[in-house]
Structure formats: structure tokens, C-alpha cells
Amino acid sequence: MIKEAIATGDTVELAREAACRELGVESYDAEFEILEMPTKKTFGLFGGNPAKVRVFIKSNPAEAAAEYLKKILGHMGLSSVDIRITEEENGAQLSLSGEDIGFIIGHRGETLDALQYLTGLVANHIDNTYYRITLDIGNYREKRKETLEILGKKIAVKAVKTGRNSSLEPMNPYERRIIHTAVQTVEGAKSWSEGEDLGRHVVIGPEAGERPLPRRNFNNRSQQHRPYGDKPRTGYGNRSPKPAQSTAQPVHPPVKQEPKSDKNAPLYGRIDFKK
């Protein structure tokens, strides 16, 4: 990619300096070509043209992003990381290799995504145009893509079968697009995104919407009060319930009272003698 500016001046040098100021670079950092040489005025009054110079620099957003990434990794204690640049349409992929660099990926690629975002800002600052930067370590991106595709299809099949929606964990826009694409391959399923910012996530559900849950029948009152079935509960296991014990006292026949006898009493009763 080439960044250029054209300027004029009374001399070639003045025109060149003006063009460099427009680009925001030093004159020794840029190349230039003379488009028109200055001409003097006739008799100092008529005609004459200023010098016209084209100044340009060959900018490479991917190289600028790689240099920036090396500085960050150096501060992280990784000074021997190799960065391979692969040019792509509207962008480039930076593949990192080296010893003990797996921790750069982070939890579910969060650290790698953060570094990718920062290097993307640097790359887009070069030309002020959209230039996509992708970071990868050990083919992690491809493996993650395959995992998300399998997950999206599995949840989509489940949604069609059960008629219920399922929400996935928050993901970045790139991973959400992978899920949406995978769901489209399952007939009868659809997906959409919900949430804001870091909580943005994918929801997968049946294409016709959620099916209502079956309603329970409470018309049969006898069934309502018998949660264990039609048979009345008889106790634990197969044991029969013990008969209830009565608290009433047993009734005994009345006992016939015999008259008390006095062995010392006379046979015909008591006789008092007069004095």
C-alpha cells in the first residue's frame, strides 16, 4: 500500500517539505518524484510556474502491526517469538510460534483476542481504511472454529427436538458468526443474538418459536389426592397396616355381692337380755 501527497513550492526542496508535512513524515522517511520543475517569470513579471513534487511512502499495515506486537510480547517476557505474516483479502494473519507461548491464548482465547484488537487498531491507523488483522497460535483459530460448529449444530438439533430455546455463553462477533452459520445448516432451527457489550450471546431455538409446555389435568380430584396411583397407600413396602387399637376399657359382667357373715353372731340374730 502506498500513501502519497503532492505539493508545490518555489523550489523542489520547498515542495518536497510541504508534501512531507502533509503526510506527517520526515523527508528522509519518504520517497519523492518531481512532477514539474519550477520556471522563472519572464522579465520577472510574466509567466513562471512553481515546482510540483509527489512524495510517497510504501506502508504495510501488517508489518506495522507485527512490529507493535513484538514490543508488547517483549514486555511480557517473550522476546524470541517468531511472527509469520500471511496476506489475505483486506487484511493479514499473524501466526505466532515459539516456546512457552501457549498462555498468550488465555481463557477461551480472551488474551489472544485482546492482542488481536490492539494490533488491528495499529494496522488501520496506517491507511485509515479497514484492514483486518487475525492472530493465531498453533492453529488455535481453526480448532476453535470446528468446536463452535459442532456445538452450534448440536444445540440446534436439541432445540428442534425439545421445542425450547437455549442460550450460549457470551462470545465475540467472530465466534457468534460461526455459530449462526452452523445453525443455518439444521432444518427447523434458528439463532439470534441477545445482550449488550461483553454479555452479547447467541440464542438457539426452533424456527416456529417455543412450544407451550403441556398442562396438567386437575379435573380428577381423586387422582389429585392420590399422588402414588389409584391404589390407596398402605404403608411402607408391601406390609399391611396394623389394625387400630381401641382405647376403650373392656366391659366385664357385674360381680354378684355376697352378704358378709359374722361367725360370732347368733344363728337367729342378736338377742339382748334384760337385767
Task: Tell me if 203 sits within 8 A of 192, measured CB to CB.
Answer: yes
CATH of the domain at 118: 3.30.300.20
Task: Mean pLDDT check: name the lowest of 96-100, 199-203, 240-244.
Answer: 240-244
Q: How would you classify residue 165: left for phi > 0, otherwise alpha for psi between -120 and 50, otherwise beta?
A: beta
Residues 134 and 151 in one domain: no
Q: Is residue 265 assigned to a domain? A: no
- The mean pLDDT value for 19-26 works out to 84
C-alpha cell at 165: 430455546
Residues 157 and 172 in one domain: yes
Q: In this structure, what are the phi and psi dihedrals at residue 87, rounded to the nearest 5 degrees? A: -70, 135
Q: Is residue 184 assigned to a domain? A: yes
Sheet strands (E) in the chain? 2-9, 31-36, 51-58, 82-88, 91-97, 132-137, 166-167, 189-194, 201-206
pTM above 0.95, yes or no: no
Domain count of the fold of the chain: 3
Q: Average model confidence (pLDDT) for the chain?
A: 80
The Cα–Cα gap between 69 and 81 comes to: 10
Residues 105 and 116 in one domain: yes
Select from 188, 206, 224 the last residue of a domain. Answer: 206
- Is a pLDDT exceeding 60 seen at residue 244? no
Select from 159, 186, 206 the last residue of a domain. Answer: 206
C-alpha cell at 162: 425439545
Residues 120 and 68 in one domain: yes
In the prediction, which pLDDT does 218 show? 57
CA distances to 190, 209, 256, 262 from 259, in Å: 105, 99, 10, 10
* Residue numbers of the domain that contains 73: 61-138
Q: Is residue 260 assigned to a domain? A: no
Q: Is residue 201 assigned to a domain? A: yes
At which residue does the C-alpha cell 519550477 appear?
Answer: 38
Q: Is residue 32 assigned to a domain? A: yes
Digit-coded pLDDT (tens) for 137-196: 988 999 999 999 999 999 999 999 999 999 999 998 889 999 999 999 999 999 999 999
Q: Is residue 118 assigned to a domain? A: yes
Residues 81 and 133 in one domain: yes
Q: Is residue 234 assigned to a domain? A: no
CATH of the domain at 190: 3.30.1370.50
Task: Tell me if 81 sits within 8 A of 73, measured CB to CB.
Answer: yes
CA distances to 173, 186, 229 from 170, in Å: 10, 22, 45
The Cα–Cα gap between 158 and 156 comes to: 5
Q: Is residue 129 assigned to a domain? A: yes
Residue 98 or 242, more confident = 98
Q: Which pLDDT band, with edges at 50, 70 and 90, does 275 fall under?
A: very low
Residue 214 or 249, more confident = 214
